[in-house]
Amino acid sequence: MFMSRAGSPVRWWLGGLMCLFLLAVAASILFGSADYGPDAVLDYLFGGVTDATVGNDVSGQRVPRTIAGAAIGAALGISGAILQAVTRNPLAESGLLGVNAGAALGVVCGFTFAGATGSWTYLVWAFAGAIGASVVVLVIANAARVTVSPLRLVLAGVALGATLRGLTSYLLLRNANSYDAYRNWVLGSLSGIRLAQALALLPVVAAGVLIAAVSVRPLAALALGDDTAIALGHRPGRTRVLAALAVALLTGASVALTGPIAFAGLLAPFAARFIAGPRLGLQLVLSALAGAALLLVSDVVSRIVISPYELPVAVILALVGAPILVLIARSRGLLTLRAPGEGG
C-alpha cells in the first residue's frame, strides 16, 4: 500500500480530497449572498415550490460559477504542479512565465485599442495575451538554439513579465476609461460568469490536461536531471516546451475568464507534493482536486463574509495564502520537502 509523506495511505488522502471537493460543490450551489437560504435552493433543485428569483439565481449564477470555479481551480493546481516540476522550484507558480502579465496586457489592449466592453471580448483578449506571452517566453529561452533550461525559462518569464507589466501601466495611465474597466477585471472574481462562458472554458482546460498527462513521464525523468532524462530516451527541450504549452492553456484560460488569482497554483501543488511525494502523476491528480476545492471554498466564503455583498475570491485566497506561506518560510520541515522527482 502506498503511503504518503504524512504517514497515511494515499487513498485516504485522495478520498478525503474528493469528499472535500464534493462538499465544496454542494456549498457553492447552496450558499450565496442572496437573502434566501439553502432550503429554498433545495426546493428548487428537487422540484419543490419556488419562485423565479431562486431559479434564475441558481441556474444563471451559482451553477455556472461552480462549474467555472471547479475547472479553474483544477487548472491552476495542475499548471502549478507542472511549473514546479519543470523549473525544479517547489514554490513556482503561473506568474513565473509571464502568463498573468500577458493576459493583463491583452485585456488592456482590448480596452484601449479595440473598445472591448463585454465579458466575451475580455476573455478573447486575455487568452490571446496569455498565449502570446508564453510563445515569446519560449522564443527568448530558445534564442541561442540550445536546450531550453529551467533557468532560461524562469529568467525569460521574469523579464517578459516585468516588461509587460510596465506596458500595461503605461497604457492605463494614458487612458482613465481603460483603468476603470481593468480595475474590475484585475480583482479576480467568479461573479457574473455565464454558463456559456464556463462551458467554453472546458475544452481549453481539457487540452491542457491532456498535454500534462502526456508529459508526466518525461517530466518525471527531467526532474532527475537532463543527462538522466536523455539517457532514458526523453528530450528535455521538447518536454519543457510541452510543459509551457500546458501551463499557457490552463492558466491562460483561467486568468482570461476570472482575472489573476494568486496562491491557488502554489498551495494546491504544495499540498499534493506533501501527500504524494515524488510521484508526479499522482501529484497532478491531487493538485487538481485540491485546487478545485480550495477555489470553491474561497468563493463561498467571499459570498457570505459580507453578505449581501461579495468580495473578490482573489482577496480571500490572498488572506489565506499569505499566512500559509509565512508558515512555510518559518518551518524547517516544510521547507525541506523535496522537489518533484527527488527521493521520498
pLDDT value of position 301? 92
- Residue 1 within any structural domain of the chain: no
- Residue 3 within any structural domain of the chain: no
Percent of all residues in the chain with a pLDDT value above 70, rounded to a whole number: 88
Residues 6+ apart with CB under 8 A from 134: 97, 98, 99, 102, 244, 245, 247, 248, 252
pLDDT value of position 65? 92
Q: What is the CATH number of the domain that holds 72?
A: 1.10.3470.10
- Residue 290 within any structural domain of the chain: yes
**Cβ atoms of 131 and 118 closer than 8 Å:** no
Could you tell me the end-to-end alpha-carbon distance of the chain, in angstroms, rounded to an integer?
Answer: 15
Give the CA radius of gyration of the chain.
20
What is the C-alpha separation between 267 and 80, in angstroms, rounded?
9
- Residue 341 within any structural domain of the chain: no
The total number of structural domains in the chain stands at 1
Full residue range of the structural domain in which residue 14 is found: 10-335
pLDDT value of position 328? 67
List pLDDT tens digits, range 289-336: 999 999 999 999 999 888 778 888 888 988 888 787 777 666 655 554
Angle, in degrees to the nearest 10, between helices 63-87 and 195-214? 20
- Residue 344 within any structural domain of the chain: no
List pLDDT tens digits, range 148-183: 666 777 788 888 889 999 998 888 888 777 777 777
List pLDDT tens digits, range 93-150: 777 778 888 888 888 888 788 876 666 777 788 888 888 888 888 778 766 555 566 6
Query: What are the cell numbers at 289?
Result: 482536486
- Residue 2 within any structural domain of the chain: no
What is the C-alpha separation between 90 and 272, in angstroms, rounded?
11
pLDDT value of position 49? 62
**Cβ atoms of 304 and 117 closer than 8 Å:** no
Give the pLDDT mean for 213-235: 82
pLDDT value of position 2? 54
pLDDT value of position 344? 40
List pLDDT tens digits, range 71-97: 999 999 999 899 888 877 777 777 777
pLDDT of 339 above 60: no
Mean pLDDT of the chain: 81
Q: How confident is the model at residue 50 (pLDDT cuts 50, 70, 90)?
A: low
**Cβ atoms of 302 and 315 closer than 8 Å:** yes
- Residue 145 within any structural domain of the chain: yes
* Residue 203 or 88, more confident: 203
Q: How confident is the model at residue 56 (pLDDT cuts 50, 70, 90)?
A: confident
- Residue 280 within any structural domain of the chain: yes
